[in-house]
Amino acid sequence: MSKLAVVAFGGNALLRAEQKGTIEEQENNAYDAGKNLIHLINRDYNLVLTHGNGPQVGNILLANSAGLEKYGIPNMPLDVSVAYSQGFIGYILEQQLRNVLMAEDLDRDIISIITQVLVNKDDEAFQNPTKPIGPYFTKNEADQLTKESNVIFKEDPAGRGWRKVVASPTPLVIFNRRSIEKIAREGHIVIAVGGGGIPCYYVAENKLQGIDAVIDKDLASALLAQQIRADKLFILTDVPKVCIHFNTPQEKAIDRMNISQAKKYLKEGQFTEGSMAPKIRAAIHFIERSGKDTIITDTNLLGVDNGGTRITIV
Q: Return mean pLDDT, the chain.
A: 92
The pLDDT value recorded for residue 151 is 82
**Residues contacting 51, CB < 8 A, separation 6+:** 8, 9, 10, 11, 13, 14, 89, 93, 191, 194, 195, 217
Top pLDDT among 237 and 179 is at 179
Cα-flanking dihedrals φ and ψ of residue 208, to 5°?
A: -90, 150
d(C-alpha 216, C-alpha 198), whole Å:
11
In this prediction, residue 12 has a pLDDT band, given cuts at 50, 70 and 90, of low
Average pLDDT of span 204-233: 96
pLDDT, tens digit, 9 for 90 and up, residues 87-109 = 999 999 999 999 999 999 999 99
Active site residues: 11-12, 131, 217, 279
Average pLDDT of span 30-41: 93
Top pLDDT among 172 and 71 is at 172
pLDDT, tens digit, 9 for 90 and up, residues 131-181 = 887 777 899 999 988 888 778 899 987 788 998 888 999 999 999 999 999
Please, what are the domains in the chain? Answer: 3-128+167-230 (3.40.1160.10), 233-314 (3.40.1160.10)
**pLDDT higher than 80, residue 303:** no
**pLDDT higher than 90, residue 83:** yes
**pLDDT higher than 80, residue 188:** yes
- Whether the CB-CB separation of 184 and 47 falls below 8 Å is answered with yes
**pLDDT higher than 70, residue 1:** no
